[in-house]
């Protein structure tokens, strides 16, 4: 990005983004400023990344064109009330789950450009799936800058705001579903005699490698699956059991249930 960035909230998400920005050389430590109440977090971030930090209440640096709000949704209203006069000339990016763009407008007015992001937990290892939507004040150039920023911690997809609940159900909640699947693979391995360490390593690498294969090949999962399902073989026996148990339908319903809950939490 080249210009200064302010993070409001220096927790897990902010740390992941700072790491990604520095590793990808999208930013240098002297261009990153973090507002964070916890002195231990501040000194952790200063030591790890050599960035500048401050307690809430200090004026935001005038040169920072972008402010990334990385606090919990429950405290967002208070943060916006405190900062609203300092946000008017900047691009505001929020990673808080669930809060609609109209929530920000109710504090800062509708003339401030705001980008809402749904990141996921894999952002912490720079392999996240971030989904962005914007309000009408965000220019194409600002959106492109934000996409570059989120590309440094994984992949970035832009959608209309009406689809944010849908992506929350898929990429936001998806890690929880996949971790349950990994645990199931592990337990299956243990049931047939593997030790826990071996089962864990094989389950994780199998999911990781298969996801990479699906990504690199670009093929539909059904085509790839057909290649590893030989007639009368082992995979088709296991697949029959999964189909009889309604595995695919269960996953679909899990995504739908997460979307429904996201809507409830967002008040729609
Ligand atoms: N972690 C994820 O996987 C994930 C995924 C999707 C979306 N998100 C969203 O990302 C946001 C941040 O999540 P997180 O996991 O990074 O949470 P976190 O680790 O709790 O970080 C939030 C930080 O904000 C600080 N804070 C509280 N009040 C503040 C204030 N007035 N000014 C500045 N900083 C303040 C907190 O300090 P104290 O602890 O001292 O209060 C904490 O260090 C949340 O809105 C969440 O919905 C997270």
Query: Sign of dihedral through CA atoms 121, 126, 129, 134?
Result: positive
Does one domain contain both 144 and 54? yes
70-74, 155-159, 244-248: segment of lowest average pLDDT = 70-74
Containing domain of residue 204, as a range?
A: 172-265
Confidence of residue 268 (pLDDT cuts 50, 70, 90): low
CA torsion sign, 27 to 29 to 30 to 31? Answer: positive
Pocket of ligand 1 (CB under 6 A): 8-14, 35-38, 41, 56, 70-73, 75, 79, 95-97, 119-121
Judge whether 62 and 69 are in contact, CB under 8 Å.
no
176: CA distance to ligand 1 center in Å? 19
With residue 145 as reference, give the H or E element that holds it: helix 140-151
Q: Is the pLDDT of residue 98 over 90?
A: no
| Ligand 1 atom at shortest distance from the alpha carbon of 35 | 33
Same domain? For 52 and 154 the reply is: yes
- Answer whether 212's CB lies under 8 Å from 225's CB: no
CB atoms under 10 Å from CB of 70, counted, come to 25
Give tens-digit pLDDT for 52-75: 999 999 999 998 999 999 999 999
Q: Are residues 240 and 199 part of one domain? A: yes
Residue 250: C-alpha distances to residues 130, 166, 254, 256 (Å): 25, 17, 6, 10
Listed residues 112, 132, 164: the one ending a domain: 164
């Amino acid at each position: 990005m080249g210009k200064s960035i302010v993070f409001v909230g220096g927790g897990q998400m902010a740390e992941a983004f700072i790491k990604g920005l520095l590793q990808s050389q999208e930013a240098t430590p002297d261009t990153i400023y973090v507002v964070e109440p916890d002195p231990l977090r501040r000194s952790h971030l200063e030591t790890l990344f050599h960035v500048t930090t401050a307690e809430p209440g200090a004026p935001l640096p005038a040169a920072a064109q972008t402010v990334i709000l990385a606090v919990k949704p429950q405290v967002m209203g208070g943060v916006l009330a405190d900062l609203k006069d300092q946000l008017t000339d900047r691009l505001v990016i929020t990673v808080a789950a669930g809060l609609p763009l109209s929530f920000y407008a109710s504090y800062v007015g509708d003339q401030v450009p705001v980008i809402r992001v749904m990141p996921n937990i894999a952002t912490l290892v720079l392999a996240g799936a971030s989904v962005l939507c914007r309000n009408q004040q965000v220019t194409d150039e600002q959106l492109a800058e934000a996409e570059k920023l989120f590309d440094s911690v994984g992949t970035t997809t832009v959608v209309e705001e009406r689809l944010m609940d849908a992506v929350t159900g898929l990429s936001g909640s998806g890690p929880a579903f996949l971790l349950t699947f990994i645990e199931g693979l592990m337990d299956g391995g243990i049931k047939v005699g593997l030790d826990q360490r071996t089962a864990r390593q094989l389950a994780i690498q199998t999911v990781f490698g298969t996801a990479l294969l699906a990504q690199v090949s670009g093929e539909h999962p059904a085509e790839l699956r057909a290649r590893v399902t030989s007639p009368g073989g082992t995979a088709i026996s296991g697949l029959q059991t999964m189909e009889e148990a309604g595995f695919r339908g269960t996953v679909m319903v899990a995504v739908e249930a997460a979307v429904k809950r996201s809507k409830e939490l967002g008040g729609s």
